[in-house]
Structure formats: structure tokens, C-alpha cells
Structure 1
Amino acid sequence: MTVNKRFILLFMIDLIIVWFSIETSYLLRFYGDIPDNYSRQMLQYCIVSSFTFGGSLYYFGLYRRIWKYASIGEIVAILKAILVGAILSYVFSLLLFDERLPLGVEARVIETILLLVGGTRFLWRVVVHKERNGRQADRNRALIVGAGDCGMLIAKEMKSATFSHTQLVGFIDDNPYKLRMSILGVPVLGNRHSIPRIVSEQEIKEIIIAMPSVSRTEISEIIGIAKQTGIKLKIIPAINDLITGKVSVKRLRDVSVEDLLGREPIVEDLNSILGYVHNKVVLVTGAGGSIGSELCRQVARFMPDKLLLLGHGENSIYNIQMELRKSFPNLNLVPIIADIQDRARMMDVFRTHRPQVVFHAAAHKHVPLMEGNPSEAIKNNVFGTRNVADCANEFGTDRFVMISSDKAVNPTSVMGATKRIAEMYVQSLNTMSRTKFSAVRFGNVLGSRGSVVPVFKQQIAEGGPVTVTHPEMVRYFMTIPEAVQLVIQAGAIAEGGEVFVLDMGKPVKILTLAEDLITLSGYEPYKDIQITFSGIREGEKLYEELLTAEENLGSTQYDRIFIGRPSVLTASQLDLEFKRLERALTESNTVTVREIINQIVPMMPVAKAAIS
């Protein structure tokens, strides 16, 4: 039906309703026997009301609304239109009629028109809703966790005609006053502990967590209960979406491993960060890597005078450069293709740009690969760090922050040992330099290239099996943005010589992580996707540590950043060992390289690490 035809039809129906309401009101007022003088008044009142009610209904937009989406707003519009029409009709009756209009008639007219005009509109909504419910047999049955404002908005959209693939069955809410109540006609079925039972009884296929304002810890607990059901989980990302009006079914995303960690967002100390990054020349080495690129994104928010993107791989540097140019079009970006092992090139970079702040993220990080290539680990992680740190010292850099690893603690691997040696060199240099040298040590980050989560996701996508090294292997995890935020904050409070240790939360079993990823992907572990055990690889521990026995952990002004002050070799001792390493590298003697590494940082045997 065209818009004009629809308008004419509705307008004629409303005029019939107005005339019917007036006539029945007079009949009731006079008990079915209307006097002649009031019959004339009734006809006059019908003619006047046709104009007043018709004009009022049109003015309040009742012919421009789509009634299958009718809600409170439509009820209010109907009420306003009828009251205004009634008032205007009564005023004209006082001016035009010989006899005063009975108030009883006016009251009944308002009641009848309100009932019939509203009823015809909402009858259409009910008819459409019934038709839609009749086609729900093949739709996914969904449950919303959270019967608050956000849950209501999601439910309203899901009940619309445009959202056809999911049927909303009920809400879950911990508020006992909401239990067995209904929102938009959808019942609140129970609290979070009832989720497994309700999913089974109601044959639920999808759970939507719509609680953007609650803590991450609470969200993690709810996900922990919901994942027991083995069905698809989705979530509204953040409270900001509710504030900015972006809550929508389209904003839903799959629950991720990051949600399971339950870590609260970091409160940034903007003043301290601005003090050492804003309007400064900042260099990020390894800028194309997972940590380095996130460092660039977050540093860019504080508008440095110049941001130097240094990396060895041209594609990764190009990608982060294009991303930042789009996000920060006014930022002065300088992409630099260089290898930190090239001392002359590093000197040229520092001489040309004079960076005031250096975040050193470039490193070889893969434990098994470095076990087979110890010389490359030394060249990059030790001598590469020495090159960058020496340049920072020589050219007067204010702050130098090195990204380290929990694998540097009681290392069982070449990679861990080289990171510990790099820490020692940075600390020794701090004793004789104006530059504030520090290191930040943390564990695994979720989603970094080559880390366990992307590998598991790929294996799941391929149908399995998912390969875990050992059923008891444990690791610390945090998200990349969280780790980088803490790195930047640690740089703000560095006085020089510290090894900052980030609070990594509770350690996570790799096996549990694999099971969770399979479940969150909509599969059942050991049934749909198998998990196999490959054995601990060379250089790996069953668990990681963040501090050595001799390190004393001190607190800082930030809850998640601690200070360890490990003992270090003197600069002269390190210089002697470095000369021995250089000689061994020249001779390509891998055995000697390992021996020297072990002398500088005694490496624990893997077996010992596994049972200690």
C-alpha cells in the first residue's frame, strides 16, 4: 500500500471512530433516547470534532508512524492527540452551540476515542507479532544475561521484525525482585546460577551477556558459568557503548579469552605520562611487532613531537605507519627500516633524530627457535640491546625502557637467558649514565604473533587436534593493550636501574585455555575437537616466574606495577663476557656461545624447572 492510500485509509477509520464515539456517548448519556435539540448538537459536534480530532491526530504524527514497532512513545502521542482534539472540540462547542455540551458526553467521547484509536494501532502490532512468532520454529533460541537498560535495548531490537534469525526466550538477572517479572513480554527466568538448568530446559542455543557496567571480574564469573553449557556466547563490549548510544545487536561480539581473564581496566595517570611523552621525540624499536605496534598506538594518543617507527621488516612497519596516519593524521611519523644489530645504523638514527624517550621492544622471543639458534639470540637480544642502549647514553636520551620477559627469571632457555643479560647490561649502564634506564618484565600476552592463542585458533579452524605441550603447563597471561599501558606508566615513574614487574594476575593452565577456546568457538572439547599432548619443548618450563630468589619486590604508586632490584654484574665484568661472546660468534662456535651464556646467567635444566 502506498503512503497516500495508507493515510487516507487510517484517516477515514479515525473519522468513523470519532463519529461512533460521539453517537454512543450521547446514547449512553440519554439512555438511548436523545432529545431533538441534542440530536442537532450531536451532529454539529461530529462535524467540529472531525476537524479538531483529525487535525490533532495529524499534527502529532499518528499517520507517519510504523505501528508494528509501537511502544510507549506511540501511546504518549495518541494520548496527547486525543486530549488536544477534545479540548479544541469543547472550546468550539462553547463558542458555536446554543446549548452547553454535557461534560459526561465529553468524558465518554475521550475514553472511547482513546480506546478505539489506540486499540486499532496496537491490534496491528499484535497481528504482526503473532505472524512472526508463527515462523519461529527454525530460529535460534537466545537468553540475555542482564535485565537492565542494556538488556532491554537488545531485547527490543531482537523482537523487531528485522531481526529474524533469533528468538528471545528470557532474561537472567541476579536481582531477586526481577525474578518471574517480564520485560517487553519476556520473562526473567532466574539468576546466573540457573543458567545451565535454563539452557537445558529451554533448549537455548545462544547466550548474550548484556552487562557492560559490571566489573570484569563479575563478567569472568558469569562467562565461567555460561561456558559450562557449551553453547555460543556473545557479549556487549563496554559501558561506553551504552553511554554513547551504540548498544545494538550489531555491536555484539563473541566472548573471547580476554573476557575470561576478568582483569579490570587500567586507570591511566595521564599527567605523568604526558609529562615525559607529550611533545617529545619518541623512538619505538620493533615497532612492527605485537608489543611494538601497540606501543606506537598508545604513545600516539599523547601526541609526541615525533614518533620514530623502527623495525627490520618493511611490511610490518608500513602497516603500522598506514594505520597511525589514518588514526592520527596530524602526527609526525618517521618510519625507519633498520636492524638493531647494525651499530653504525643505530648511531645514525640517534644522531639524526635525537630521541628523548626510547621504548626498546625489538627482540627474538620464540623459545624453541632460539634454542636451535643461540648465536642469533645473542646478536639480537644482547648486542642489539647494547647498541640501542649505548646510543641512548651517548646522545642524551632522557628515558630508556626495555621490554623484558618473565622467561628472564631463573632461565631454562637461551631466549630467557639473553633477555636477563640484556636487563643486566641496561642496569649496569644506568650506574654511569644521565639516561634513566629501566626494564619492564611481564609474561605472555594474548594474541601476539606466534603465541599460543592464535595457534590454537588456527588448529580449531582446521578441525583439530589442538596441541598442548603438557597437561600441567601453566603461564601468566595479559592482553597486549594492558601490558603496553603498564609499560608506559612504568616509564613515567622510572628513576633508573629498576626492573619493573607487572602484576600478571593468576596463572592459567594452557590445557584450560585450549578447552575454553574450543568451547567459545562453539565446539565440545575431546568430542568435536581433540586435544593432544606433544611434550615439553627444549628450553620450556612447566611454569614461569616473575622474580628470582634474590630480588626484593617493592610497591609503586600503581597497583599493578612492582619493582624488583636484582643483583647485576659490573660493567667491566659484562664487558669481559661480551668480548668472549663476540669471539665465539666470530668462530661460529655454538657450544662455546651456550657455555658463556650459562656462565653469565646460569640456566636451570628444564627437568629441574618442571619439578621445583
Structure 2
Amino acid sequence: METLYQTRLYQNYRSVLIVVIDLLIVFASYVFTFFMDNNFFLDGKILHITHLILYGMLFLLLLHLVVGLVFSTQKALWTYTGPQDIVRTGLSSLTCTVIMLIFTQTMHLFHPSLIIISEVIAFLLQLGVRLGYRYLHQYLLNVDRSEKALVIGAGNGGYIMVNEIYRGSRYPYNVVGYLDDFKPKGTLVGGKKVLGTTEEVKEIVEKYDVKNIFIAISKIDKENKQRIIERCAETPCITKIMRFSLENDKEPIRVDEIQIEDLLNRHTVDLKNEEIGMYLSDQVVCVTGAGGSIGSELCRQIVQFQPKKLIMIDINENTLYMLKQEFMRKMRNGSISPNIELISLIISIREREEMFKFMEQYHPDVLFHAAAHKHVPLMEDRPMEAIRNNVFGTKNVIDACIQGGVKRLIMISTDKAVNPTNVMGATKRMTELILQSREHSGEIKMAAVRFGNVLGSDGSVIPIFKEQIKQGGPVTVTDYNIQRYFMTIPEAAQLVLQAGYYASQQEIFVLDMGKPVKILDLAEKMIRLSGFKPYEEIAIQEIGLRPGEKMFEELALEIEQCHRTDNKLIFVHDRLEIPQQEIDQKLEVLKKTIENTDDIATIKSVLLDLIKDDPAYRNQKNR
């Protein structure tokens, strides 16, 4: 069947072939009625074909040709013949019937009853051919549909999903039925039965030997969606979810694998767009580290507030180039305003003079500092690089912003800066001290924002697990009991923008990351949702904590020492009075250390000692 569709004859002359078939059906219907009216000439009558009959048949065929073109019956795809096609074909036949009745009364050619009988037969045959083709096509597609699927949701979403499965070979499955919490068992939807409720998914899967589950519910709250996904994760099925989008007209629905974000019952971010717009709209906004996971998402969120300019800074030319291309496409299709000036600059924050030159040339009003080395094990191996980039690079940015007259500076920090035990966390804590200690006479508002792990960021645990599952395992976890806080990238970026509005006097904002997630549970769910059995088909291997890695992050304890802002997910630290001279002396010690030695242990020891001597650490110790 697919070979037929690919032939040049079908592609170039499909409409012509349909017209010819329809005309042959009409011709055959009238001939049959004519013979039937004459008892098929079995009583000895002789068939006489007169000129009037020939002209009448010619008019008949020409009439059906014109009316068919008017109703576009030749354009309908027989594979998807449905109610609209039936109505269109019926209206075409009705129109021809009326015109033929007028014609035959004028020409005295046929009895009116013969016209009606002929047109009814023609309509039924045309409809039969179309439906027959449709069911033949589906039968041929369904021959190899040995793998069974279950659709959760027997509403509009489920009906669309079943049609999507059966209309092509993209999903070669045989749907055994639906599960739905609101429709009675046995209800038929599109020819498939409702087999039970979502609480019965495990039993239905076992009973019908289901291998694939499709969640297709157009409207569902987060708690119920999470509950359903959790039930599906208890089965050995590959689970996919139908997602609905109002923003993409070309692809309003799509079927995706279950994302781990779907399993986390995250809070809904309550953004106050008016407040964010007050400091972003019609402003010159800059993002350092714009090519990274957080930086790029910040840029995507910022353009929605229509800044005058968006300046994207990164040292990685590939990610920066691709991000600008993404925005250019969105401008062309009208997703974002074409009036925003997009500027991409390859600048290293480690180059102090270049950062000051940038400020003098572009004069940004708002700067989000997301550029940093973030991978804990890599920074343990090269602490001098972490210090040069994260500490002194950030100092360059802060000093340039103060001198350049930037109105607002928001720095991205991390939960690893709380009582740091690794180089990356210690460097980020040092940047917080630098920010809080800077003296300035201008009106700049500065703040740091701390949050934990973001789902799906480059090098994070989720992409690693996905790749390990794809390769057949083993899935590796550092410790079976290790826990982490997780937040989605868009959620983190939105909260950073909201925290930016609250920035005033060099505060540290802490984002509520919700409940910690046990990494082992996360790995098991991802394996199950991929259609495999943990420990049997995909092994889970404990490899031990990496250098500098904590068993538990301390963000929750940190929140206890903060005040809640107007946003329930954003907390703020009381600002500590930290003398600039004291921090500058520590920076000088740090600078001389990395200049005079490459010994990793020595550099790390000096860095952690400097951090442990900071006021926040002393206050915690005294508690």
C-alpha cells in the first residue's frame, strides 16, 4: 500500500483516478437501473441505443463531473473517510438527482423513479468504495499490529490518540481499550471499550499483555497526572504521554516519553509579570553564560518581556550561535517581537579589561550573571580553573557592573554554597561574599539567587540516566541513599526573574526546591517507564560518592534561616555586613596561592579555610 502512494501515477493523477472511478460508478448505476427496468431483456425485448440516450448519458456524466468538482469529492483522502466526506458525497448526489429530475422531465428520457434509484445506487457504491478502501488500508496496516497498547483517558484526547495510532504505521500497536475514571466500564469510544479505571492499570496490563501505555488526557491537574504516572511506573510498559499545545498551530499535539518532571509534584510558579516587566521591558538586558542551560532559558523568558536589547555573552560560540538562530526563527514566525535587538558576543568573564570595555560600549541596564564552571568532579581535579573562572571572573563582572552604571545585577548561585565541602560550592560561596561586600556609591541593586539541581541541564543526572538506559545499563548512582533537590529549568529561570525584582541591598535569595528526591527511586522509575525491569533487565550500580560530593544538600536548613518574600517559593537572607577590605585580602591570598602552586590539595585547603572564616559560617557555628 505504501508503495502505491509513492508511485508517480498516484501522486500526479490521484484526483483524476478518483473522478474516473466515480464516473464509472455513476455510469454502471444507470445502466444497471435501465437493464433492471427492462427485466434485463430476458423477455425477448431488443436493446435500442438511441441518440437521445447517448446525449442523456453524456449530460449525466458531465453533470456528475462538474458537481463533483464543485463539492471537491475528488480531493478527499479515502484513508480518512469520515462523516464530512459522507455528507459532501451525499450533497453531490442530491444535487445531481435534482438536476437530473429536471432534465428528464424536460427531455422525457427516464421515469423519475429510475433517476432516484440510479442516484441512490451510485451514492451507496461511491460511499462503499471509499469505506472499503479505508478498512482495507487499516486491515493491511493492522496485520503486523501484534504489540498491544492501552490508552488512558476516554475523552477527546484518548479518541485523538487512538485515531493517531491507527491512521499510519508510526505507532504499530493494537489498542485493547481505554482506562477512564469518569466513564462506565464497557462504554464504547471510537470502537474501543473502556476497560476500567486508572487504579486498575496494573491488572489490565497483565490481563491483556499490554506493552505500551499512552496517557491522553487533555485536562488534568498535577496531582492526578502524577498519580497516574506513578501507577504506570509500577507496570513493565513503555509509557508515553500526549501533550497539548496552544502555542504551536503546526503541531498542537505530540506524543512524548514520560519526563521525570512529570513525576515531581512541583509547585506552580506564581509569576507577577507586571513586577518583572517593570525592570525588563524596554531595557538593555545582558546575560552572561547565555549558552548554558540556565542562561539560555533566562534569555527565552526575558524576550517575552520585550527588552530594547538582549545581549547574550558566552565563551562557547556554538551554543551562542544556536541560541540566536532559535530567536531569529521565532521572530520570523511571530512568536517574539521583531523589535528586540539581539546581540551575541564571545567574551570570557576572566578577561577583566574586556568586561569593562563591554560595559563602556553597551551600557546594559540589567545583567544576569549565569556564567560559571559547575561540574563538581571536574572542579575537584582543577580547582585553580574554578577559582579563576568562578571567583575572579565573577569579581570582574561585579566590578564592571558597579563602574558601568548597571541598575540591577542578579547572580546565579547554588545550594552547594551552603557549608561547602567541594571546590565548586566554595567558589560560589566566595562569589556571594564578593557581591555582599562591594562598596558602591551608585544606585545599583545586586543580589544572588541560590537553588539546587535543575532537571535536564547539561551533564545532570537525568540525561545521563537516559543514555545509560538506552545503552542497556547499568544505571549508576553514587549512593543508594543519596538525595537531591530538583527544579525544572523554566521554573528556575522564572523564579530568578521574580527574585530580580526583589533585589535591593545585595541580598541572597533562596528558592524553595520542594521535597528532596531519592536518586535511587528516580532511577527505578525511569527504567520502568522505559519498559524495562530494574535490577533484572537494567542493572542499577552503586559507584560511591564523588570527591567533594555530599550525601544530602542543606537547602532546607538554609530556608529556616530566611524570611519569605511575597512569593511563597522565594526566601531571602538577612544581609550580613561584610567589610570589602576583608574579602579583598582573602582574594589576594587566593590569587597568590594559584599563582605559586599547582598542588590541588593545597589550593583546595586554602579555599575552604577562607570560606570557613566567613561571617555566615561563624554565625552558624555559634548557633
| Residue in structure 2 matching 1:383, options 392, 401, 412 | 392
Q: Deviations over 1:137-194 (max 9, x none)?
A: 5x432222222323323322322255573333322322224x3222332222222222
Whether 2:95 is the aligned partner of 1:84: answer: yes
Cα distance, 1:475 vs. partner?
0.8
When residues 12 and 326 of structure 1 are mapped into structure 2, their CA distance, relative to the original with a 3 A threshold, is closer
Give the corresponding residue for 2:613.
599
Give the corresponding residue for 2:134.
125
When residues 167 and 549 of structure 1 are mapped into structure 2, their CA distance, relative to the original with a 3 A threshold, is closer
| Aligned-partner Cα distance in 2 for 1:412–1:455 | 24
- 8 Å contact from structure 2 (residues 413, 448) kept in 1: yes
| Aligned-partner Cα distance in 2 for 1:326–1:436 | 34
Q: Deviations over 1:217-273 (max 9, x none)?
A: 4333222211222222222233327x836246xx32222222322446646544433
- 8 Å contact from structure 1 (residues 153, 247) kept in 2: no
| Aligned-partner Cα distance in 2 for 1:131–1:578 | 73
Give the corresponding residue for 2:44.
none
- 8 Å contact from structure 1 (residues 236, 247) kept in 2: no
Q: Deviations over 1:474-530 (max 9, x none)?
A: 111122222112212221343333322223233211112222333334332211221
| Structure 1 residues 370-409: aligned runs within 5 Å | 370-409=379-418
Whether 2:557 is the aligned partner of 1:551: answer: no
When residues 50 and 550 of structure 1 are mapped into structure 2, their CA distance, relative to the original with a 3 A threshold, is closer
Cα distance, 1:132 vs. partner?
4.2
| Aligned-partner Cα distance in 2 for 1:164–1:502 | 41
Q: Deviations over 1:53-111 (max 9, x none)?
A: 77655643445544343111122123323333444455556667699978xx9988887
- 8 Å contact from structure 2 (residues 26, 119) kept in 1: no
| Aligned-partner Cα distance in 2 for 1:323–1:198 | 44
| Aligned-partner Cα distance in 1 for 2:593–2:616 | 18
- 8 Å contact from structure 1 (residues 438, 496) kept in 2: yes
When residues 404 and 90 of structure 1 are mapped into structure 2, their CA distance, relative to the original with a 3 A threshold, is same
Q: Which amino acid aligns with 1:597?
A: I
| Aligned-partner Cα distance in 1 for 2:135–2:590 | 81
| Aligned-partner Cα distance in 1 for 2:34–2:234 | 62
Give the corresponding residue for 2:251.
246
Give the corresponding residue for 1:565.
574
| Structure 1 residues 76-475: aligned runs within 5 Å | 76-91=87-102, 115=124, 118-133=127-142, 135-136=143-144, 139-160=146-167, 163=170, 165-177=172-184, 179-240=185-246, 244=249, 246-247=251-252, 251-263=254-266, 266=269, 268-325=271-328, 327=330, 332-429=341-438, 433-475=442-484
Cα distance, 1:584 vs. partner?
4.1
Question: Could you say what secondary structure the match of 2:234 adopts?
Answer: helix
| Aligned-partner Cα distance in 1 for 2:403–2:297 | 27
Q: Which amino acid aligns with 2:264?
A: L
| Aligned-partner Cα distance in 1 for 2:593–2:17 | 91
| Aligned-partner Cα distance in 2 for 1:286–1:176 | 51
| Aligned-partner Cα distance in 2 for 1:231–1:200 | 10
When residues 123 and 493 of structure 1 are mapped into structure 2, their CA distance, relative to the original with a 3 A threshold, is same
- 8 Å contact from structure 2 (residues 485, 516) kept in 1: yes
Q: Which amino acid aligns with 1:306?
A: K
Cα distance, 1:582 vs. partner?
4.0
- 8 Å contact from structure 1 (residues 174, 190) kept in 2: yes
Question: Could you say what secondary structure the match of 1:359 adopts?
Answer: strand
Q: Which amino acid aligns with 1:75?
A: I
| Aligned-partner Cα distance in 2 for 1:563–1:310 | 28
215-224 vs 266-275, which deviates more?
Answer: 266-275
When residues 559 and 431 of structure 1 are mapped into structure 2, their CA distance, relative to the original with a 3 A threshold, is farther
When residues 272 and 587 of structure 1 are mapped into structure 2, their CA distance, relative to the original with a 3 A threshold, is same
| Aligned-partner Cα distance in 2 for 1:214–1:247 | 17
Cα distance, 1:357 vs. partner?
0.9
Q: Which amino acid aligns with 1:367?
A: V
| Aligned-partner Cα distance in 2 for 1:453–1:128 | 41
Equivalent pairs: percent with the same residue? 36
- 8 Å contact from structure 1 (residues 144, 172) kept in 2: yes
Question: Could you say what secondary structure the match of 1:445 adopts?
Answer: strand
Cα distance, 1:562 vs. partner?
3.2
When residues 286 and 64 of structure 1 are mapped into structure 2, their CA distance, relative to the original with a 3 A threshold, is closer
| Structure 1 residues 12-31: aligned runs within 5 Å | 12-17=24-29
Q: Which amino acid aligns with 1:279?
A: D
When residues 544 and 20 of structure 1 are mapped into structure 2, their CA distance, relative to the original with a 3 A threshold, is same
- 8 Å contact from structure 1 (residues 468, 511) kept in 2: yes
Cα distance, 1:196 vs. partner?
1.9
| Aligned-partner Cα distance in 2 for 1:237–1:447 | 18
Q: Deviations over 1:558-609 (max 9, x none)?
A: 45333333545343443444444445445445333332222126879xxx9x
Size of the aligned set, in residue pairs, is 583
Q: Deviations over 1:366-395 (max 9, x none)?
A: 333434544444443333322211221122
- 8 Å contact from structure 2 (residues 313, 346) kept in 1: yes
337-346 vs 474-483, which deviates more?
Answer: 337-346
- 8 Å contact from structure 1 (residues 431, 497) kept in 2: no
87-96 vs 353-362, which deviates more?
Answer: 87-96
Whether 2:82 is the aligned partner of 1:71: answer: yes
Question: Could you say what secondary structure the match of 1:284 adopts?
Answer: strand
Question: Could you say what secondary structure the match of 1:293 adopts?
Answer: helix
Give the corresponding residue for 1:33.
none
Cα distance, 1:22 vs. partner?
8.9
Question: Could you say what secondary structure the match of 1:363 adopts?
Answer: coil
- 8 Å contact from structure 1 (residues 346, 388) kept in 2: yes
- 8 Å contact from structure 1 (residues 360, 402) kept in 2: yes
Question: Could you say what secondary structure the match of 2:514 adopts?
Answer: coil
| Aligned-partner Cα distance in 2 for 1:126–1:287 | 53
Cα distance, 1:9 vs. partner?
4.3
When residues 15 and 510 of structure 1 are mapped into structure 2, their CA distance, relative to the original with a 3 A threshold, is same
Q: Which amino acid aligns with 1:596?
A: L
- 8 Å contact from structure 2 (residues 179, 197) kept in 1: yes
- 8 Å contact from structure 2 (residues 19, 65) kept in 1: no
Structure 1 stretches of 5 or more lacking a match? Answer: 28-42
Cα distance, 1:361 vs. partner?
1.1
When residues 489 and 552 of structure 1 are mapped into structure 2, their CA distance, relative to the original with a 3 A threshold, is closer
Give the corresponding residue for 1:35.
none
When residues 599 and 482 of structure 1 are mapped into structure 2, their CA distance, relative to the original with a 3 A threshold, is same
303-312 vs 286-295, which deviates more?
Answer: 303-312
Question: Could you say what secondary structure the match of 1:488 adopts?
Answer: helix
Q: Which amino acid aligns with 1:473?
A: I
When residues 370 and 386 of structure 1 are mapped into structure 2, their CA distance, relative to the original with a 3 A threshold, is same
- 8 Å contact from structure 1 (residues 585, 593) kept in 2: no
- 8 Å contact from structure 1 (residues 577, 600) kept in 2: no
